[in-house]
Structure 1
Amino acid sequence: MADGRSASSVSGESLLFLTDEQLRQGIEAMFFAYRGFTADPDRILDDMAYGRAHHRAIHFINRAPGTTVNNLLAILGVTKQSLNRVLRTLISDGLVESRVGRNDKRERHLHLTEAGRALEQTLSDAQRTRMRAAFRTAGPEAVAGFRTVLEAMMDQEMRASYIRLKETGA
């Protein structure tokens, strides 16, 4: 642009003038989208008497096999008591295996069992199908914008964890 501003900064500035009604509609769209995003996994989990906390644990253990309990606590942002309840169930049901650390015997490293990987695959397939369809409908520019919005909504600490996970896989 002639004044030195990029087209993206101009379009970003125009977003600062959203009305309360437009913001309300965005909030409601987020609520309904999240409901749709979690609906398929929720049905699968409900049959097993599991909830979303189980799903999140399974997802991130799969994402970073061998992750420690402390790392999982940091990623999920839940209490140790809450995570322990979830892990006890997943371990007793044969979906997660807890191994003693090689260097530090106090650490517990978490791995999905074959059954855990199969469940994670089923849950993720349902969500990937929904995301793939939505992304195809929206197009590449919308997908990039969506990611930008999601990252901008994250707290600074959460964004740092997300970026670290994205870069390292752990």
Structure 2
Amino acid sequence: MVETRSPANPLFLRDEELRQGIELMFYAYRDFTFEIDQLLKSYQLGRAHHRALYFIGRHPGQTVGHLLSILKVTKQSISRVLKDLLEQGYVEQKSGPRDRRERRLWLTERGQALERELTERQSQRFARAYRETGADAVEGFRKVMLGLLDPVERIEVDRRVRGGGR
């Protein structure tokens, strides 16, 4: 079970409480990504590939530009990642219906299977944590995660997340 403490007053957070939050985020991210990183290595893929697979799966038919805006990476970085995913048959790219220059992205069946496998493993970790902490903590966590985002992105990201990404 997760240790419970009296809730900190957000107006009077001490440096130590902030540092504990930062440190917990590092540890959580390490464990959240470790198993997936090992699996991705067996496919000769990395975290950038995983993020692209995940968001292409969440937003099928999106443009490369939309994916760039979500991932906040350079065109050069996304080009390398997409090249790998296209060559290995995980992603397909088609021209836009109105603008032939537009490149739209979908996961292939193979890409969907890999994305499901990766997401299922991470979903199990979230499900365990959510079960252990309860509904109030889940909503609090959502609010903290949104609070960590740049303020101009919070509304759009919250809309995307709540809308299933589509």
Higher mean C-alpha displacement, 44-53 vs 124-133 = 44-53
2:123 to 124, 128, 135: 128
Q: Structure 1 length as normaliser, TM-score?
A: 0.89
CA displacement at 1:13 relative to structure 2:
8.5
Following superposition, the deviation at residue 49 of structure 1 comes to 1.9
Paired residue secondary structure (1:23): helix
Cross-structure match for 1:54:
49
Distance in 1, Cα, partners of 2:57 & 2:113: 10
Unaligned runs of 5+ in 2: 1-5
- CA displacement at 1:157 relative to structure 2: 3.3
Hey, what's the Cα distance between the residues in 2 that align with 1:112 and 1:142? 33
Say which of 40, 44, 61 aligns to 2:35: 40
Distance 2:45 2:23 in 1: 26
- Whether the 8 Å contact between 1:75 and 1:161 is mirrored in structure 2 is no
Q: Spell out the pairing of 1:80-99 with structure 2 (5 A cutoff).
A: 80-99=75-94
Q: Shift of the alpha carbon at 1:12?
A: 9.1
Q: CA deviation at 1:101?
A: 0.9
Number of matched residues?
Answer: 160
2:103 aligned partner? 108
Question: Please, what TM-score do these two structures have when normalized by structure 2?
Answer: 0.91
User: Does residue 169 of structure 1 match 2:153?
Assistant: no
**111, 135, 145: which is aligned to 1:140?**
135
Aligned-pair identity in percent equals 50
Which of residues 58, 63, 78 in structure 1 aligns to 2:73?
78
Instruction: For 1:134 and 1:159, locate their aligned partners in 2 and report how far apart those are by CA, in whole Å.
Output: 23
User: Which deviates the most, 69-78 or 45-54?
Assistant: 45-54
Structure 1 stretches of 4+ with a deviation exceeding 3 A read none
Residues in 2 aligned to 1:131 and 1:54: alpha-carbon distance in whole angstroms: 21
Aligned-residue CA RMSD (Å): 1.7
